[in-house]
Structure 1
Amino acid sequence: MNRDKAVVVFSGGQDSTTCLFWAKQRYKEVIAISFDYNQKHKLELECAKDICKKHGIEHHILDLNLLNQLAPNSLTRVDIEVDKEAPKDRLPNSFVDGRNMLFLTFAAVFAKQRGINQIITGVSQSDYSGYPDCRDVFIKSLNVTLNLAMDYQFEIHTPLMWINKEETWKMAYDLGVLDIIKNETLTCYNGIKGDGCGECPACKLRNKGYQDFEKKYLK
C-alpha cells in the first residue's frame, strides 16, 4: 500500500482546506479533487483553484452536473432559499442527496488510476448539521464498499470527524495556515468569501467556532 501519496476531496471551504494542509504535512504528494455540480457559487471552485495554485498542489475539477438534476437543493437552485435554521422535521434543504458518496466514489476511482490508496475528506460528525453522509458509520461503510467494488485497499481519513469548529480552527492554527483558512476559503451558503454573510447556518457555525477559538487561544 502506497502511503506517500493522497487524494483530498477539496471544496475550497474551511474544512476541506484545513484537511488539505493536514495532508500536506503527512504525505510527499497530495492531489486535490473538486467537483462542479452546478453549485450556485462558482467562487468556491475559484477559491479551491487559487489555493492549490498558490501552494503548488495538483488540482482537478470533475464534472458532476447530473447531481444537480437528480437532487434539487438550496445550494444549486436559485429558486430554493437556504434554511436559516435547521428544521426539526426534515433534513436541511442544503443537504444534497448522495453528494459525499459520489464525491468519495469518484475520488476513489481517480486515486486507483494513480496507484493511490489514501483519501482524505473533511466530514465531521461533531458539527454535521444533520447530514447523514457526514457520519463516521457512513464513511466506514463506504470504505468497505469501495474496497470490495474495486478490489483495492483504500483508506479514507477523516481528520475532523470528532472535533468541533473551535477545534478545527485550532488545527488550522497549529498547521500554520490560520490566515489562509480565515481569508481565502468560502464556507458561506450565500457565496461570500472569508467571514461570509454571517446569517446562513454555515456562517453561524464557522463564526461561532472562530470566536470560541479566539477567546481560548488568541488572548
Structure 2
Amino acid sequence: MILEKTYNASCVLCFSGGQDSTTLALWAQKAFQQVHLLGFNYAQKHAIELEQAQKIAQLLNLPLKVLDLSFLQEITLSALFANNPQKSNAPHPKNPNLPASFVPDRNALFFTLAHAYAFNLGANFVLVGVSQQDYSGYFDCRKEFLDSLQTSLNLGAFGIKEGIAFLAPFMAMSKAQEFALAQDLDGLELILEHTHTCYEGIRGVRHAYGYGCGACPACRLRQNAYAEFLNHYKQD
C-alpha cells in the first residue's frame, strides 16, 4: 500500500491548508526526506485558507511558497472567486454537469506549476491530495486525469514518460478514512483546529468537524465524513 512506503527522495506537495493537503503533509513528513509545500492564491473567496496554510506550515516546520494566480478570475468563471456572488452548490454556468465551484483547469495549472517547481528543486515526486471517491464532482480529481497529465509533463520536460511522478495517496480513500489517518499520525487535533475547507471562508465557530459555514458543499462533505469517522474509525 502506498501509505506504508517510505521514499528516499524529496517531494513538492500542492498545499491549500485544507483537510486533504494537511493530512497529506503529515504523512509526507514521515515518508519523504524533504517536503516542499506549494500553495496558490487564485482570488478564491475562501482566501483565509492561505492564512491557515501559513500557520500549519509553521507548526509542521515545512517551507511554503505561495504563487499568485489571481489572474484566473479574469479569464474564467467559478463561484469560488471572491468577485462572484453565485452559490457554490448551483450548476456551473458553462457546464451543468459540474458544480458552480469548479474552476476550469485549476488543477491542471496547479499540478503543472508543482511539476516545474519539482524540476527546479530536483524533487522526484509531486504530491496531491485529490480523491476520486470524495471529489465533489470535479473531473480533474480522477486518476485518469492525473496519469495523463504526468505523462504529458514528463514528455515535455524529459522527452520520456518517466521523470517526476505524481502521487495521490488518497485517490481511493474517503474523507472519513482521512480523518482516521490523521488520528494515526497524531494530527487529528491539527486537522480539526487549523485546516480550512469551507467555500464561504467562514471560521467564526468551531463545529465538531472543524470550522465552516456548515451549509456549502465542502462543509457538508466534511461534516458527513466526520460523522462516519466517529462511527467507524475513531479510537478511544
Q: TM-score range by the shorter chain?
A: over 0.9
Q: Is structure 2 residue 80 aligned with structure 1 residue 75?
A: yes
Q: Would you identify which runs of 4 or more consecutive aligned residues in structure 1 move more than 3 Å?
A: 83-89
Moved more, 185-194 or 135-144: 185-194
Which residue of 108, 113, 119 maps to 1:101?
Answer: 108
How much has 1:50 moved relative to structure 2?
0.7
How much has 1:183 moved relative to structure 2?
1.1
How high is the sequence identity, in percent, across the aligned residues? 40
SS of aligned partner of 1:109? helix
- Residue 34 of structure 2: aligned partner: 29
Question: Map of 1:1-219 to 2, 5 A cutoff?
Answer: 3-84=8-89, 89-151=96-158, 153-193=163-203, 194-218=210-234
Measure, in 2, the Cα distance between the counterparts of 1:162 and 1:68.
31
Measure, in 2, the Cα distance between the counterparts of 1:98 and 1:3.
32
Q: TM-score, normalised by structure 2?
A: 0.87
CA contact (8 A) 1:3 1:117 kept: no
- Tell me the alpha carbon deviations over residues 53-102 of structure 1, each in whole angstroms, 9 at most, x when there is no partner: 12210110011122221122111144332233678942101000001100
Instruction: Specify the code of the residue in structure 2 equivalent to 1:215.
Output: N
Moved more, 34-43 or 74-83: 74-83
CA contact (8 A) 1:85 1:201 kept: no
Greater percentage in strand: 2
CA contact (8 A) 1:82 1:189 kept: no
Measure, in 1, the Cα distance between the counterparts of 2:119 and 2:75.
27
Q: Check 1:37–1:89 CA distance in 2 against 1; reply closer, same or farther (3 A cut).
A: closer
Measure, in 2, the Cα distance between the counterparts of 1:36 and 1:83.
18
SS of aligned partner of 1:35? strand
SS of aligned partner of 1:73? coil
How much has 1:195 moved relative to structure 2?
2.8
- Tell me the alpha carbon deviations over residues 152-202 of structure 1, each in whole angstroms, 9 at most, x when there is no partner: 601100011001111111111111100111110000011124331110010
Measure, in 2, the Cα distance between the counterparts of 1:176 and 1:7.
22
SS of aligned partner of 2:218? helix
Q: TM-score, normalised by structure 1?
A: 0.94
SS of aligned partner of 1:32? strand
